[in-house]
Homo-oligomer: A and B are copies of this chain.
Amino acid sequence: MTRPQPGAGSAPRRGRGRPPAAERADGPGARERILEAARAEFSERGYDKTSVRGIAKAAGVDAALVHHYFGTKDEVFAAAVEVSFEPALIVPAVVGPGPEGVGERLARYFLDVWEDPATRAPLLAVIRSALTHEAAAKVLRGFVLRRLLERVARDLDVPDPRLRAELAASHMIGIAVLRYVIQVEPLASAEPEAIVALVAPTLQRYLTEE
């Protein structure tokens, strides 16, 4: 379900988690394996039916190790989501090069993430979960969006930067819903570049123009 994450290929395959197997299963790739398992579990089962125990089992580690690396289920959820939309990745790539062309870079970055079925599945699961479970909405609101949008807004030289960053994000989320979930035509089959061409000026305006 998920594409390999940086470092996933080098994960050691020793051991299946049970106490005191947490230590045996630990190693350079355990954290990434847990994240991968978390994304797969949240994608397949939804927020509600996913448990730390289930994630641990899928990752072949002890539940204690999941808690050790991430904390609560909510924190695993946030970490699993942030793999795709991590401020540390998105901000330098999109906002870093400066205001010119930021709308186009954001639209393309976003569509790239969604066009890849491996990253699309967990993101859809996140949106579904957030729309149906207040706990998941809270995680998305608190951990993910706040961090990401604050970081993007910090680099904007416009009035109401947070509100504008959120409007840009809302457009991207709405496109995802109509294109990938509800699948209205012609949006569902449109070439990504055709969408980028139409949407980039909108994002550019929100992020850079008064």
Contacts and interface: CB of A to CB of B under 8 A. Distances in A.
A177 B131 contact: yes
Interface in A54-107: none
A173 interface: yes
A142 to B, nearest CB: 9
Copies in the complex: 2
Contact residues of A: prevailing secondary structure:
helix
Interface string A111-136: 00000000000000001101110000
Contacts of A127: 131, 177
Contact of A141 (B166, B175, B183): B183
11 contacts: A137-B182, A140-B182, A145-B182, A149-B184, A162-B185, A166-B178, A167-B175, A170-B171, A170-B177, A173-B177, A202-B202
Interface of A: 127-128, 130-132, 137, 140-141, 145-146, 149, 160, 162-164, 166-167, 169-175, 177-179, 181-187, 190, 194-195, 198-199, 201-202, 205-206
